[in-house]
């Protein structure tokens, strides 16, 4: 009865990949005999991260549309056609009972084909402002799980269920891990620990800021766990020789990184914001200005307005950052207030709630 075949697609960035993996893990727990297949974009990070999580993945030749006229754009119709054909072939061979999309280029062709073949399908939209793929798919799929209010502007109201964003299971259990986590990262137990996250691909501007402020952090008695992103590691790894800095291209043990930290600097992508609410530590958001409809700033603002985080825009970093950081690191009260308030916004049952909806689609 539970020998279901479940196909999932999401990728391009960690914000699309990790929700898909979290949903698959929860489904696997409920249906140990189910068979899973992921579909991603050939040259993106899901092709590495999904197999690391123990799942098979097939790649489509697909990418997004650039905003200006480029060779990539001229290739787009061919890529789309090729992806639709391959998605059709994958679905014909795998014969899924349900299809799940968490956003990103590859989920478009896959969910398009699946819903066209009347396979029950669900998409999960992480942002307060949906991407073009999910807007187009919303007319075809059965259900849309969202993390923000007021998405009736973009999606059919009767299909929307507010669940929150899936987060990695290990992040739900970081209480009591601080001492072990600091030991694991070989940190000084008597110093403040700052965790710097620039999103799964890294952020040039945040990296420049941290490089610029390394001496300032030293004067503040702050040690830094700095996830700079794979693209930037060769540029910044030289700072590993400083005794208060650790530079990582990517951190696989995020639960321990969060547990070890006292203060976090982060982008404001939807998945990051959801994780940080569950983690419940004081955060300074530096939203990426290079995203559609400035949705990272909107995500961050929704938290800041509830006195649950601080935000410094990229354009204001040179003027405002040191002041904001000093304010936070020097006030235990401020840290406590932000930590407690952000924790109140958490939706820790998101993954279970989404999988409940998947179960309904499987007609249990």
Same fold, 5-166+349-361 and 170-344: yes
Q: How far, in Å, CA of 264 to CA of 227, rounded?
A: 11
Under 8 Å between Cβ of 263 and 279: no
Write the CA distances from 204 to 3, 84, 210, 233, integer angstroms. 45, 34, 10, 11
Report the relative pairing of strands 57-60 and 35-41 from DSSP bridges: parallel
Q: Give the CATH number of domain 170-344.
A: 3.40.50.2000
List the one residue out of 272, 220, 226, 261 whose CA is nearest residue 245: 226
Q: What is the pLDDT of residue 294?
A: 81
Q: What is the pLDDT of residue 66?
A: 54
Q: How far, in Å, CA of 100 to CA of 8, rounded?
A: 5
On the question of pLDDT at 70 being above 70, the answer is: no
Weakest mean pLDDT among 169-183, 232-246, 275-289: 169-183
End-to-end CA distance of the chain: 10
How many Cβ atoms from other residues are within 10 Å of residue 183's Cβ? 12
Q: Can you read off the two tokens belonging to residue 267? A: 């982008």
Q: How far, in Å, CA of 242 to CA of 36, rounded?
A: 44
Q: Can you read off the two tokens belonging to residue 351? A: 């993954």
DSSP state of 116: H
Under 8 Å between Cβ of 248 and 307: no
Q: Backbone phi, then psi, for 276, in 5-degree steps?
A: -65, -30
On the question of pLDDT at 167 being above 60, the answer is: yes
Write down the domain spans for the chain: 5-166+349-361, 170-344
List the one residue out of 11, 38, 14 whose CA is nearest residue 24: 38
Q: What is the pLDDT of residue 171?
A: 86
DSSP state of 349: T
Q: Write out pLDDT tens, residues 253-280.
A: 999 999 999 999 999 988 899 999 999 9
Arithmetic mean of pLDDT, 291-320:
91
Percent of the chain whose predicted confidence (pLDDT) is above 70: 95
Between 192 and 293, name the one with better pLDDT: 192
Helices 295-304 and 270-279, axial angle in degrees (round to 10):
20
- CATH superfamily, domain 5-166+349-361, is Glycogen Phosphorylase B; (3.40.50.2000)
* Helices and strands in the chain, H and E counts: 14, 13
Weakest mean pLDDT among 16-20, 21-25, 303-307, 313-317: 16-20
Write the CA distances from 203 to 107, 163, 268, 357, integer angstroms. 25, 29, 12, 35
Beta-strand ranges (E) seen in the chain are: 5-9, 35-41, 57-60, 98-101, 121-125, 143-146, 160-162, 192-197, 222-227, 245-248, 263-266, 283-285, 310-311
DSSP state of 342: H
Write the CA distances from 297 to 51, 135, 286, 360, integer angstroms. 32, 21, 8, 35
């Amino acid at each position: 009865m539970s020998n279901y075949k479940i196909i999932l697609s999401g990728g391009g960035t960690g914000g699309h990949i990790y929700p898909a993996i979290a949903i698959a893990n929860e489904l696997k727990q409920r249906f140990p005999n189910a068979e899973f297949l992921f579909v991603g974009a050939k040259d993106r990070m899901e092709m590495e991260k999904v197999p690391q999580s123990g799942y098979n993945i097939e790649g489509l030749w697909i990418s997004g549309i650039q905003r200006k006229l480029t060779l990539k754009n001229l290739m787009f119709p061919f890529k789309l056609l090729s992806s639709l054909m391959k998605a059709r072939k994958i679905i014909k061979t795998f014969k899924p009972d349900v299809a799940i999309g968490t956003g990103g280029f590859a989920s478009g062709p896959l969910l398009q084909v699946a819903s066209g073949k009347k396979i029950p399908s669900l998409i999960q939209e992480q942002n307060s402002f949906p991407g073009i793929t999910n807007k187009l798919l919303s007319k075809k799929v059965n259900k849309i799980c969202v993390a923000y209010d007021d998405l009736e502007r973009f999606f059919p109201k009767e299909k929307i269920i507010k669940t929150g964003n899936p987060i990695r299971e290990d992040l739900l259990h970081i209480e009591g891990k601080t001492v072990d986590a600091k030991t694991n990262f070989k940190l000084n137990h008597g110093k403040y620990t700052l965790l710097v996250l620039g999103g799964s691909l890294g952020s040039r501007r945040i990296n420049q800021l941290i490089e610029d402020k390394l001496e300032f952090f030293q004067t503040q008695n702050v040690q830094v766990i700095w996830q700079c992103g794979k693209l930037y590691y060769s540029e910044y790894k030289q700072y590993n020789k400083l005794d208060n800095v650790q530079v990582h291209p990517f951190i696989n043990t995020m639960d321990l990184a969060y547990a070890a930290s006292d203060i976090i600097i982060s982008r404001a992508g939807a998945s990051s914001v959801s994780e940080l609410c569950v983690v419940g530590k004081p955060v300074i958001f530096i939203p990426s200005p290079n995203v559609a409809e400035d949705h990272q700033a909107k995500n961050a603002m929704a938290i800041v307005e509830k006195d649950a985080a601080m935000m410094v825009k990229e354009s204001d970093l040179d003027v405002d950052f040191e002041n904001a950081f000093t304010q936070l690191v020097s006030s235990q009260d401020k840290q406590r207030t932000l930590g407690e308030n952000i924790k109140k916004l958490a939706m820790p049952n998101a993954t279970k709630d989404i999988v409940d909806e998947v179960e309904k689609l499987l007609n249990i």
